[in-house]
A = this chain, B = another copy of it.
Amino acid sequence: MSLLKSNTFISAHDVTDINALADKALHYKANPFIDKQLGENKRIGCLFLNPSMRTRLSTQIAAQNLGMEAIVFNVGSEGWQLEFEEDAIMNGKTVEHIKDAAPIFGKYFDILAIRTFPSLVNKEDDYSELYINQFIKYSGLPVVSLESATLHPLQSLTDVVTIKETYTPFNEGKRPKVVLTWAPHVKPLPQCVANSFAQWMNAWNEVDFVVTHPKDYELDKQFTGNAPIIYDQNEALKDADYVYVKNWSTYNDYGKIYNSDPEWMLTPEKLQLTNNAKVMHCLPVRRNVELSGAVLDGPNSIVTQEAGNRVWAAQAVLSELLQLQ
Contact, CB under 8 Å: A99 / B286:
no
Contact of A51 (CB < 8 Å), options: B69, B80, B288 = B80
- How many residues of A sit at the interface, in one of the four size bands? 35 or more
A97 proximal to B (CB < 8 A)? yes
Q: How far is the CA of A73 from the CA of B108 in the complex (A)?
A: 20
Contact, CB under 8 Å: B288 / A88:
yes
Number of copies: 3
Residue among A45, A87, A106 with max Cβ neighbours from chain B (10 Å): A87
Residue among A32, A57, A80, A87 with max Cβ neighbours from chain B (10 Å): A57
Q: List 19 A-B contacts (CB under 8 A).
A: A32-B41, A43-B64, A51-B80, A53-B78, A53-B101, A53-B104, A57-B108, A61-B71, A74-B78, A83-B287, A88-B287, A90-B286, A90-B289, A95-B286, A99-B297, A100-B284, A103-B304, A104-B307, A104-B308
Residue among A73, A87, A103, A304 with max Cβ neighbours from chain B (10 Å): A304
Can you list, as one digit per residue, whether each of A53-93 has a CB less than 8 Å from chain B (1) or not (0)? 11011101100100001010110011110010001111110
Footprint of B on A, CB under 8 Å?
Answer: 32-33, 41, 43, 45, 51-54, 56-58, 60-61, 64, 69, 71, 73-74, 77-80, 83, 87-92, 95-97, 99-101, 103-104, 106-108, 186, 283-289, 293, 296-297, 303-304, 307-308, 311
